[in-house]
Amino acid sequence: EPEGDQEPQGERPGAPDGIRCSLSSDHALSKPLDEAFSLWKKLLEHPGVPSVRSPEQTLSSLQLLAALYRLQDKPIQALESFQLLLSLCRRLGDGLGAANALSQICRSLLQLGSPGQAQVFLEELEFCLGEDEGTE
């Protein structure tokens, strides 16, 4: 019997080590994303269209950044990334991209339990889609 008691206790130290390893690898995975987010935020803090080689590639990079944050279950960082994407889409006059960013912002806010804030962006999305229909 004492041996049986020792086996489960012998397994228990592994669990915290596994958690520590998981948290460590989670930080290692998110660190490059956080650095990329910081760089995009600095680039977009100034008004106007940023000087980038390819605005389309920049939009794709921001979409990917937000999607990766969402996959890592980091909804606040995903939301902030979608807000950067929205800002760039507006500067570039990309109505469809702005509408997509607004819908993703609404989704993120709903996931965060903020339906009131989501409603504000939903109304903006409806206005944006109405403008887009008017130009066709």
Measured CA to CA, the distance from residue 135 to residue 112 in angstroms comes to 34
Report, as an integer, the average pLDDT of 8-35. Answer: 62
Residue 77: φ, ψ to 5°: -65, -35
Domain at 55-135, CATH homologous superfamily: Tetratricopeptide repeat domain (1.25.40.10)
Give the domain ranges of the chain: 55-135
* pLDDT of 5 strictly over 90: no
Alpha-carbon distance 76 to 66, whole Å? 10
pLDDT for the residue 130: 84
Share of the chain above pLDDT 90, in %: 55
pLDDT in the model for residue 78 = 95
Count of beta carbons in the 10 Å neighbourhood of residue 114: 15
| For residues 59-75, average pLDDT | 93
Band (pLDDT 50/70/90 cuts) for residue 26 is: low
In the structure, what pLDDT confidence band is assigned to residue 99 with cuts at 50, 70 and 90? very high
- Out of 12-26, 100-114, 120-134, least confident range: 12-26
What value does the mean pLDDT take over residues 121-125?
93
The predicted pLDDT at position 53 comes to: 85
Dist CA 37 CA 78 (whole Å): 10
- Average pLDDT of the chain is 82
Q: Mean of the pLDDT values across residues 12-38?
A: 67
The pLDDT of 68-82, averaged and rounded, is 94
